[in-house]
Amino acid sequence: MKEGNEKIPKKGSAFKRLMAYAGGYRNFLYASIIMSAVSAVLALFPFIYLWKIIKEVIEVMPDFSRAEGIVHNGVMAVGMALISMLIYFAALLCSHRAAFRIAANMKVTALDHVKKLPLGVIDSMGSGKARKIIAESAEATETYLAHQLPDTANAMITPVALIVMLFIFDWKLGLLSLVLVGLAFVNMAGMLGKKMAEDMRRYQDALEDMNNQAVEYVRGMPVVKTFGQSVFTFKKFRDSISNYGKFCMSYTKMCRRPMVLFEVSINSVFAFLTCAALVVTAGGNITDKLVVNLLFYIIFTPIISTTFTKMMFMSENNMLVEDALTRVQSILELEPLPEQDTKKNTVDYSIKLDNVTFRYDGADRDAVSGISLNIPQGKHVAFVGPSGGGKSTTAALIARFFDVKSGNISIGGVNIKDIPKAQLNDMIAYVLQDNKLLKMSIRENLKLAKPNATDEELKRALHLAQCDDIIAKLPKGIDTQLGTHGTYLSGGETQRIAIARALLKDAPIVILDEATAFADPENESLVQKAFDEIGKNKTVIMIAHRLSTVKDADEIFVLKDGKVAQSGTHEELLADNVKDNNYKKMWEEYRKSVTIVSSDL
């Protein structure tokens, strides 16, 4: 956190929890609250001067030349209004300055914590959900602090001053005014409280789920378009939209009756006073004082409507902020993996899995179960098998995206739990099937792997990754900006740039997880050549469905149902006479698919 290093409280009011992010800017918030309260009191004085003008006009009529205080009272009314506005404007300046800093500190705090979390935890959470929590929750608190907090102080002081003024001029009319105010308050209370807080939580959950599923749907759009499917193909996305719609409808219906009664009550005070005055004066008992006071109350009481409406929405917004803080706290409570500080000296870069078992949180079965295998230094191995067999999970465990539930994984004879995070990260280059390039230049993307890389090193990495044709066609070469307001690359081109980044890292262990999955035929051959370069003198683990890419591996591990079903070279596995030869079946199916595609062409 940039300002202050207070421990963030898990419980307490929204204001108290936000103050922990404020650091030295908390005084701006206190000043904002005080100035807003002062502004609220001063804003009522123009009504007093207006009452004085009305009173004087009625007292001197029809000889208005005797009215000597109208100009003075008018100037005072305008002056008080202007002073109130200026003080309120100063309050907003203070609240905005603090709000922006607190929102920034909240984001920085959450992102700093996310950086410490293993990649698997963030991936399991879902990118849409993580983005919404960090970005939108901080934005919600920003709006609350910048506008609603000063308005809260304003709204809390105004009713007190209102009640005092209602009883100063005519306590009977003041009491009548409070009858409908009390009725409005009862109806407002019916829409707030613990039930409202729970409904706000459910609303945010529904929004969060829909946002997360929308991200996954967009990612799967190529498949939808290719096979002519509809949104109903993505049942989770459809259900999230349906659940959100049902909740909003039921919540709206629940609030309909109390909201209507609240609006009618709070906006009918002047009408109620008028009717009461007609009843009182039915016998002709009309005095100048009654007329003056009645006019004052009819003009003055609409403030009650505005104030109570503000209070109602502030209570709702306060619940939204508390929910946002709770969601940010849910990220801060995610535990990073235990980490050692002392650098370990490994014998080599061989990898050993000893009876490794792992299960994802909430799953009903193990993702991998009792896996034991050895990968000697410098060897190229492949993980193959049906979807859900545990290939990517095993690779993720080696990179320590998660910690095993039981068993051990070691590199060079050292348990990876005992290897500091930075050291382990330097050991492993991980190329995913859907690598991402940040919206910056290619040079900057490459330097993420090696910040001090020279131009010669960058050019060499790009050349070995078969990227020469990509760089040649870009307007600014290696300095071309990618993404928004820049250039977009195809999936295969992005993959080759990602491989260049991995080459630049020059890690002794390379994990290629379905790295050719999104490459077109032309790019696939270039990506394959890049793999040959990145794998030289490295310990390589390749995960692939296309068996042609792994048939030359030193050893192939067939994973099924989270276990190693078979292992050996391509020839050994094909010659294996076991009853259920999974690899042989997969190879035959692959050959058939290639034959069918070739005949179609």
User: Length of the chain in residues, anyone?
Assistant: 601
DSSP run (H or E) holding 314: helix 302-332
pLDDT tens sequence across 393-439: 999 899 888 889 999 999 999 999 999 888 888 898 888 776 778 88
Instruction: Summarize the confidence of residues 186-203 as an average pLDDT.
Output: 65
Instruction: Summarize the confidence of residues 293-315 as an average pLDDT.
Output: 67
Reply yes or no on whether the pLDDT at 472 is more than 80.
yes
pLDDT band at 545 (very low <50, low <70, confident <90, very high): confident
**Highest-confidence range of 138-147, 150-159, 300-309, 464-473, by mean pLDDT?**
464-473
170 vs 587, higher pLDDT: 587
**What Rg, from alpha-carbon coordinates, does the chain have?**
35
Separation between Cα atoms, residue 419 and residue 416, nearest integer Å: 5
368 vs 194, higher pLDDT: 368
Predicted local confidence at residue 1, as pLDDT: 45
Assess contact for 95 and 150: CB atoms under 8 A. Answer: yes
Predicted local confidence at residue 228, as pLDDT: 47
Domain ranges for the chain: 14-332, 351-600
What are the φ/ψ torsions at residue 286 (nearest 5 degrees)?
Answer: -115, 130
Predicted local confidence at residue 601, as pLDDT: 47
Picking from 410, 390, 378, the residue whose alpha carbon sits closest to that of residue 554 is 378
Reply yes or no on whether the pLDDT at 499 is more than 90.
no
Equal fold, 14-332 vs 351-600: no
Share of the chain above pLDDT 90, in %: 15
pLDDT tens sequence across 176-192: 766 766 676 676 666 66
Instruction: Summarize the confidence of residues 540-553 as an average pLDDT.
Output: 83
From residue 268, give the alpha-carbon distance in Å to each of 176, 209, 457: 12, 41, 77
Reply yes or no on whether the pLDDT at 498 is more than 60.
yes
Predicted local confidence at residue 80, as pLDDT: 92
From residue 115, give the alpha-carbon distance in Å to each of 123, 179, 477, 506, 574: 13, 57, 31, 22, 44
301 vs 89, higher pLDDT: 89
Reply yes or no on whether the pLDDT at 161 is more than 50.
yes
pLDDT tens sequence across 115-124: 777 777 766 6
Helix (H, G, I), strand (E, B) or coil at 584: helix
Reply yes or no on whether the pLDDT at 2 is more than 50.
no
Instruction: Determine whether domain 14-332 maps to CATH 1.20.1560.10.
Output: yes
Beta-bridged to residue 375, according to DSSP, are 351
Predicted local confidence at residue 374, as pLDDT: 93
Give the CATH fold of the 351-600 domain.
Rossmann fold (3.40.50)
pLDDT tens sequence across 236-293: 777 777 777 777 787 777 777 777 777 777 667 667 767 766 666 665 566 666 666 6
pLDDT tens sequence across 353-384: 999 999 887 788 899 999 999 999 999 999 99
Supply the mean pLDDT for the chain.
79
Instruction: Summarize the confidence of residues 128-140 as an average pLDDT.
Output: 75
Reply yes or no on whether the pLDDT at 99 is more than 80.
yes
Assess contact for 262 and 184: CB atoms under 8 A. Answer: yes
Give this prediction's pTM.
0.63
Q: How many C-beta neighbours within 10 Å does residue 285 have?
A: 8
Separation between Cα atoms, residue 569 and residue 576, nearest integer Å: 10
